[in-house]
Amino acid sequence: MTKDWQELTKMTGDEPLVIEKVRLKNRDITVEGSFELPPLAKLTADDQIFAAAFIGSHGSIKQMEQTFGVSYPTIKNRLNKIAEKLDFVKIETIADKNEILGRLERGEITPDEAIKQLKGE
C-alpha cells in the first residue's frame, strides 16, 4: 500500500489531485464524488517521509539530526517549509512578532490591535 501511494505521489508531482471514487476495502460500498486529499497526503513523498520520521522520533530534533546526518538549523528549516505547506499549521516567528511591534512603535496600529495580532486573533 505504501509503495502504491509513493508511486501515485511521484506520478502526480505537485499537481492538485482530487479523488473521485472511494471503495471500502472489506465491504461492498463505493462512494463517488469529489474528495480532497487530507493535507498531509498532499505533501511530496520526501516530505511525508520526513514528517513521519519526525513523528517517529517523538519530535526529537536531536534524533532527526542523527537519522538524517544534518544540523539542527537544517532540520528546523525543513520542518518550517513543510509546515508552510499545511494550511492548518501557523508558524509564528520572532520576525513576525518584531514586525507587529515595529508597526506599533510607528503608530500604524493601536496597542489593542498589536495584542490581538500577537495572540493570533
Render each residue's pLDDT in the chain as its tens digit; 121 residues. 456 666 766 777 767 778 899 899 899 999 999 988 888 888 888 899 999 999 999 999 999 999 999 998 899 899 989 988 887 766 566 667 888 888 889 998 999 988 888 877 6
CATH class name, domain 2-85: mainly alpha
The pLDDT score that the predictor gives to residue 2 is 54
Q: Within 13 Å, how many C-alpha atoms sit on residue 69's CB side?
A: 0
Domain extents in the chain: 2-85
Dist CA 99 CA 105 (whole Å): 10
Q: How far apart are CA 11 and CA 79, in angstroms?
A: 24
DSSP summary character for residue 59: T
Quick one: cell of 46?
A: 520526501
pTM of the model: 0.59
